[in-house]
Amino acid sequence: MSNRRFLCASPLYLEEFGTPETLADLAKHRCIIHRQNEDAAGIWRFKRDDRSEVIKVEGALSSNDGDMVLGWALDGHGILIRSERDLAQIPGERQAAGGVARVFAPLR
């Protein structure tokens, strides 16, 4: 079973700061960094249509707690990269309040 990753942000964030149209546009946005394992913080890797791209993002918010970074995104603090499974577990009341919108097509 695949577990695709998505760039996502709350509708409130996108309304206030706009939706990035390219990966390069992320440099102009508030990115929320989820520090995991030994991965370099703020290095986001993308693969789409057999092309790979690595982008260094920056943001004022960073944590190794997945629920915390998702909460920040839900509250409108920035753009986050999260897995399909993580997004499916957003509580119903948070979804009803707007949840998160996917910024780009699925990434691997």
Query: How far apart are the C-alpha atoms of 33 and 24, rounded to whole Å?
Result: 16
The pLDDT of residue 103: 79
Q: Is the pLDDT of residue 108 over 50?
A: no
Class assignment of domain 5-102?
A: alpha beta
Query: How far apart are the C-alpha atoms of 74 and 87, rounded to whole Å?
Result: 11
Higher model confidence: residue 106 or residue 82?
82
Question: Which region among 17-31, 56-70, 75-89 has the lowest average model confidence (pLDDT)?
Answer: 75-89
Percent of the chain whose pLDDT exceeds 70: 83
Q: What is the mean pLDDT of the chain?
A: 82
Q: Is the pLDDT of residue 77 over 80?
A: yes
Instruction: For residue 97, count other CB atoms closer than 10 A to its CB.
Output: 14
Q: Where are the domains of the chain?
A: 5-102
Query: How does pLDDT run across 38-66, given as a tens digit for each residue?
Result: 667 788 888 777 888 888 898 889 999 98
**Whats the size of the chain, residue-wise?**
108
